[in-house]
Amino acid sequence: MEDEKELLNKNAHIDVADEQVEEYGDIRVATEVISIVANLATQEVPGVLRMSGRRIDGINEFLGGKETPTKGVRLSFDGKTVTANIYVIIEYGSCIPEVALEVQEKVKEAIETMTGYEVQFIDVHVQGVAKRDKSALEREAQAIAEAGLINNKPIFNEAEVEAEAEARQKQFFEED
């Protein structure tokens, strides 16, 4: 009997809190906003190369359209409970289960923290594996290594290579 009274008091307290919230108005978060939050959280995970979208997204990008910020995220709702499906391309060499688990954790935390919605499930669909594109600096370094040249001069010894590297570094930081 005492337990029932305590339970009723707890429920009464919850109802009062809900009424107080309704006094100020209703807060609604657009589905697209939650998708963007999930997309950005996913892209922060090391090992995620990019999001994988539907074919129509790929055709749109090919024709010069922008990449949609909700690409690779499908959500379904049951009240304030969210179920998410995340579609990703993983970087070659990454441990797929570890990356997928981290995606689940980051997306859950981001959605719950930023929106107040409860996340029920996050299913990660690995749509492919690919190598990361090399940056301009990596391509230049590879070309130098293959050609054996620095500033179109043959590399003679390590001291020259180090001196040239220091000069480039100094020049780089002076430009900023």
Distances (CA, A) of 160 to 102, 163, 164, 168, 174: 44, 5, 6, 12, 21
pLDDT at 74: 93
Residues contacting residue 36 through CB under 8 Å, at least 6 positions apart = 69, 70
| Position 160 pLDDT exceeds 80 | no
Place of tokens 């997928």: 100
Cα 35 to chain centroid, rounded: 11
13-55: per-residue pLDDT in tens? 333 334 445 578 887 888 999 999 999 999 999 999 999 876 5
Average of per-residue pLDDT values in the chain: 78
Residue 122 confidence class, pLDDT cut points 50, 70, 90: very high
| Position 11 pLDDT exceeds 50 | no
Domains of the chain (ranges, CATH numbers): 29-130 (3.30.70.1350), 136-175 (no CATH)
Residue 136 confidence class, pLDDT cut points 50, 70, 90: confident
**More confident position, 10 or 21:** 21
| Position 151 pLDDT exceeds 70 | no
pLDDT at 169: 80
pLDDT at 121: 93
CB 45 within 8 A of CB 99: yes
| Position 149 pLDDT exceeds 70 | no
